[in-house]
Structure 1
Amino acid sequence: MSSVKKKRRLKISQHKRKKRRRRDRHKNKK
């Protein structure tokens, strides 16, 4: 169970990072 929870947290972390990067790019374009 611990392993699954850790993997899930990593996936969420990666997703958040991608979204943040996209937002930064949009801000730079503007």
Structure 2
Amino acid sequence: MGNLKKKRRLKMNKHKRRKRLKSNRHKKRVW
């Protein structure tokens, strides 16, 4: 179970990283 959760977290982190990069660009533009 612990292994599954870790793997799932890694996958989510990858997706979050992509979204964060995009939002950061927008934030810089807004600021």
Do the two structures share a fold, i.e. TM-score over 0.5? Answer: yes
Q: Aligned residue pairs: how many? A: 25
TM value normalised by structure 1? 0.61
What code does the residue aligned with 1:8 have?
L
Please list every run of at least 4 consecutive aligned residues from structure 1 whose deviation after the TM superposition is greater than 3 angstroms.
none
Gaps of 5+ in 1: none
Q: Confirm or deny that 1:9 pairs with 2:5.
A: yes
TM value normalised by structure 2? 0.60
Q: CA deviation at 1:25?
A: 1.3
Root mean square deviation, CA, Å: 1.0
